Chain A
């Protein structure tokens, strides 16, 4: 599937889509969105890139194998759940800082939890898609 138009478009679309994914991720706390959808959008961005430029170049772009995103995300989520325990609170109780950052909003453990979900979803979607397409083609 080599098409100049798609190839050129994907080069511009990838950063845009990724930005959009991150935007959706941070937006989730107040408006529709969240880590799960954000992760799916990000993986669609990479899949589009893979369609246009071939799997190898997407893998090169990612640098790490997509499987590596899974443990990273799981660890972030788990740590965000464990963090309150150091302050003597039960596992997974939400802790917020009172700093308000534009776009991102409030900083707190649920945000990091959502970021973890984001990475896990990217890792899973890409692992499944890449593995299947590599085995098939």
Chain B
């Protein structure tokens, strides 16, 4: 299982390195990866009937973080969608972006994304889930910004990353909170402690954090605005990420947590309200768009709203409807996106007003569009009809506000139908304009995937039993559905649900024939633009930039002396405050401080003299030399108090520092007395205070009864365990070897910093 998840990451590296073959004519090869995975997951489907499959992998067992995977109904549905639609999208992209300069990078990002999605839906550990969650955000950032030479692409990619990243951050908080409240990070064990979690005093915060993650990822109001912006991505990306998979990650999260945190009033009411607002708001917005992909984006947000809303209703019927609708929506929306992509690819425009009569030149594409649109409309005999039936069934029998909820659902579905017809039917109907007459059918890799998806929508509609027991029921049980519900059927007889479906169809068709999509309403809604969540977010980020600019300028004067004083003032205040407030300062001269011997006194006198010389001299070389005297005297102290390792290191470091100083001194301008008496006095006071604080701390530290256990452990075990007699060195290379490894890495970074700083300066002067 873990190989299946990680294969995408390995493949990403291979794809990145094999740019030439992928660009030439081997572009279809990457599609074999999702296809293989699809077959693999599909072969596991029968095994699912006897309960979820679990895979155990150790990761950090000491912290309860394991790379455990669990394949239940919900994971299976998502895995099949990710790999199945992935196969289509990989094929589609290989033609859509044929010959693109960076096609290999595209497949690299796409396979990373696919692997991350698979990992996320399979993860049975909160930490693992979060890691993959973030990976999907990051890989989608690269995919949205794939046309990175366009400013709008970069801007919208950044916007999507900011929103989903902020949500991911809160999700992390939620995961940690849930993990520490229940004592386990394993999702499977969380199921058992659901009751405890819901009684927990921090239950509200858990909900808040989980919702923040899910709503940002799944583009729920008021975080919806990144999704239409993300449509700047190449169409395969939109079809894959923004209809079928990534935006459903939030839905997945909510569904996964329904049995754990759900079925409480705050959970249900929040989801219903947010989902309800989202579906109406965006369905209404889709009426005002004229760009095919934007229409589809808004109708996707509406569909996501419906899913959140259904999870919020939370009855058994609603959970079943959500399970079915995830599949329904993925099938028709990915097909519609691909159809829109074909139109864009062939005609160069996505404006609904300009595209007419294309069914005559590309009939398979038209068929795919028509079938997908019918499924999205919920016309009888399509899978969409069954999905819509289940939705109405759920809202009609909701425990409260049934009429209101049904009305909202019907209204949204009318708009969704309209959007589907706009994208799937309108471009192919009517007279073919002159300029499109020479168009012909594009390569099969472009139109086969949407056609297959759309056909599946019809096949599943005709034979609902194909998906019912094997998949949808499994999803239903894994998200906490308990009661037995009637099987999915094409025909339920004459009842209210059918009436509502009829109303939806008639009203939607009327709307389609009477109202041509136009931007006529735009000025009206644009008036409210100042208050839209998008505008507020942009304003906040501008204000943040301004603030950080101001803050940086406040502290960064560019003078080294200013930096040093700020740092010292800060440390003195912080430590001084702590000393005054919390520590009872006393020291016992008799017991703690050994008597002062002659050589102590001599070394001390030399240090004092050297310091006095270094601050009073007016020659730099004198100052440096006196400082080095101070350094060497400290070496002497180390030797006297038996720390030869420290002394050696200090000695060599001091030597090198002096050399460095001498090198730099040549370049400095002649010594200037820039400080007047006041500044000198100020610095003297500051230095004295800082010295006093440090001395008090040093004396105080001796008073504290430190545990000698650690040093004793090292002293006793250095030879026994690590075969070394020099305890300091054994600690450096063995006991605390990992620290040393990180330290030398840090040193490397410092050296690189010096190198690039100096070299950069040379470049800028040569330019002048």
- Complex interface: chain A residues within 8 A of B725 (CB): 29-31
A70 to B656, CA, bound (A): 18
- Chain B nearest CB, measured from A103 CB (Å): 15
Judged by a CB distance under 8 angstroms, whether B751 is at the interface is yes
Contacting residues of chain A (108-137) with chain B, CB-CB under 8 angstroms: 108, 110-111, 113-114, 116-117, 120-121, 123-125, 127-129, 131-137
Residue of B nearest to A128 (CB): B754
With A110-B722, A123-B751, A136-B666 as known contacts, state yes or no: A32 contacts B656, CB within 8 Å. no
Residues of B within 8 A of A117 (CB): 732-733, 740, 744
From B722, B732, B755, give the contact of A131 (CB < 8 A).
B755
Cα distance A92–B663 in the bound complex, in angstroms: 39
Residues in chain A near residue B762, CB distance under 8 A: 135
State the majority secondary structure of interface residues on A. Answer: helix
Given contacts A30-B726, A132-B663, contact A37 B648 (CB under 8 A): yes
Instruction: Give the shortest distance, in Å, between B33 (CB) and chain A (any CB).
Output: 29
Chain A's nearest CB lies how many Å from the CB of B714?
Answer: 14
Asked if A113 meets B733 with Cβ closer than 8 Å, knowing A132-B663, A136-B663, the reply is yes
- Are the C-beta atoms of B744 and A73 separated by less than 8 Å? yes
Contact B730 A113 (CB under 8 A): no
Using C-beta atoms within 8 Å of the partner chain, give the interface range for chain B. 35 or more
Interface residues on A, range: 35 or more
Shortest A123–chain B CB gap in Å is: 7
Is there contact, CB below 8 Å, between B755 and A32? no
Q: Is the interface of B mostly helix, strand, loop or mixed?
A: helix
The answer for the CA separation of A32 and B758 in the assembled complex, in Å, is 35
Q: Is B660 an interface residue (CB 8 A)?
A: yes
Q: A37-B648, A136-B666 are in contact. Are A30 and B744 (CB under 8 A)?
A: no
Contacts of B653 in A (CB 8 A): 40
Chain B residues with Cβ below 8 Å from A113 are 733, 737, 740-741
Q: Interface with B: A5-13, A41-49, A56-64, which one? A: A41-49
Q: Is B761 within 8 A of A135, CB to CB?
A: yes
Per-residue 0/1 for B640-659: is the Cβ within 8 Å of any A Cβ (1 yes, 0 no)? 00001100110011011001
CA of A114 to CA of B652, assembled, Å: 18
Contact A36 B649 (CB under 8 A): yes
Interface pair B755/A127, CB less than 8 Å apart: yes
Neighbouring A residues of B738 by C-beta, 8 Å:
81, 91-92
Q: Does B748 contact A (CB under 8 A)?
A: yes
Contact A132 B664 (CB under 8 A): yes
Q: Is the CB of B754 within 8 A of A131?
A: yes
From 649 to 681 in chain B, residues with beta carbon under 8 angstroms from any chain A beta carbon are 649, 652-653, 655-656, 659-660, 663-664, 666-667
Is A32 in contact with B754, judged by CB distance below 8 angstroms?
Answer: no
Contact of A29 among B645, B655, B664, B729 (CB under 8 A): B729
Question: Could you tell me which residues of chain B, from 1 to 58, have a CB within 8 Å of some CB in chain A?
Answer: none
A121 in contact with B747 (CB, 8 Å):
yes
Complex contact B733–A131 (CB within 8 A): no
14 A–B contacts from the bound complex (CB under 8 Å): A29-B723, A33-B645, A35-B733, A37-B648, A67-B755, A77-B744, A91-B738, A94-B723, A106-B723, A108-B723, A114-B729, A114-B732, A128-B750, A128-B755
Q: Mark B residues whose CB is within 8 Å of A.
A: 644-645, 648-649, 652-653, 655-656, 659-660, 663-664, 666-667, 722-726, 728-730, 732-734, 737-738, 740-741, 744-745, 747-748, 750-751, 754-755, 758-759, 761-762
Task: List 9 other contacts, CB 8 Å, given A33-B729, A120-B747, A123-B748.
Answer: A30-B724, A32-B644, A32-B726, A33-B648, A34-B733, A74-B744, A110-B722, A117-B733, A123-B751
Interface of A with B (CB < 8 Å)?
A: 24, 28-37, 40-41, 43-44, 47, 51, 67, 70, 73-74, 77-78, 81, 91-92, 94, 96, 106, 108, 110-111, 113-114, 116-117, 120-121, 123-125, 127-129, 131-137
